Every structure is written in C-alpha cells, then in structure tokens.
Amino acid sequence: MDPQTSLEELHAAWRALRSESAGPGWRTIKVQAESRCPVLAGREFPGNGEALLVGFTGIGRPAPDSLPQGQGFLVTCLELGQAGAGYTWIALSRQMGGALDLFAVMAEDVLRIVGASYPHNDQQRYAAFLERIRAWQEFMRRNASLLLTPKQRWVLSVNWRSSAHCSGPAMR
C-alpha cells in the first residue's frame, strides 16, 4: 500500500462520503494518487456501505460467481460511467453487519498487495488482488469463533493506541 494511504485516511474518505440524503449510485474519492492502477474509497447508495474500488485494464468483465463473497464482505464488478471509462472496476464492499475495523484492515492489506504486485501487468495484479481477498476469506472462515466482539475490538484498539503513544526508547 502506498505509504500515504493509511487506515485513518481510508476512514476519513469513507466519513467524507457519508450522507443521509444521497441519491442512488456510487460516491467515490481517489485514495492512491501514485498507484499503479486507480483506487477509490467509495460508498454505494442507498445502502451507504464502505467500499474499496480498484480499476484494472486488460481484464475482461469477470463472472459474478467467480468473485469471492461472504465473511462480512462482497466483491462485485461495476460500471462507473464516463468517470470510469477504460477500466474494469472491481469493488470490495463491506456487507451490512460486517465489522468496519476488520474490513478497513483487510482493505489496507489488499491495497498493499495491489501496489506492490506486478508493476506492468494488470492481469497479474488482478489475480493477486483476488488471491489476497480469498486468503482473508479463508482466515475469517477458519477463525470465525475467534473474532472479537465490537466491545473487545474497541478495548483492544484503545489499548493499542495507548501503548503506541507511551512507547519511548525505554519501552522498545
């Protein structure tokens, strides 16, 4: 993932796109200006769920049943109209009830793979993108009983942030 794109920046983009009065369709913000392929943070309305959209060239439109699904997210191929012309857009979207913090970590990890993989080949980059999503899907399936409750995730997040602020040279 591009060093300038962090979890906080993804969350900030999704917050900026949040709206109660938006009409149907996608609202997006570019999140990786220097990426090898276009990357957008997005929300689809009327559902208002968070998504990560990646544009690939040189790939055909994938069949819906070939894309990974479940475990709190879904992957779809979509049209972005004139703004997305020339690309096949793949959206990684959080499903209603899926944990936002886990989805955001997954999105950041997937972006890291997209940014680091195959600098001149979108077909291989697309394959790495799907492979990483399937790895997350398998991780979530195997560890479903180990996933934290919302309260446990919040406590862990607070503790992690506290320890990050307190770690000085003496604590390393």
Q: What is the pLDDT of residues 20-67, one digit of tens each?
A: 666 888 899 998 766 678 899 999 888 888 999 999 998 989 989 899
> Which residues fall within 8 angstroms of residue 11, CB to CB, at 6 or more apart?
104
| The pair of three-digit structure tokens given for residue 105, joined into one six-digit string | 């970590």
Could you give the 3-state DSSP secondary structure of residue 155? helix
Q: How confident is the model at residue 87 (pLDDT cuts 50, 70, 90)?
A: very high
* Cβ-count burial 88-114 (b if 16+ within 10 Å, e if not): bbbbbbbeeebbeebbbebbbebbebb
Q: What is the pLDDT of residue 161?
A: 46
Measured CA angle at 86 (ends 72, 119), to 5 deg: 75
Q: How confident is the model at residue 146 (pLDDT cuts 50, 70, 90)?
A: low
Flag whether pLDDT at 76 surpasses 90: yes
Q: Mean pLDDT over all residues of the chain?
A: 79
CA distance 38 to 47: 23
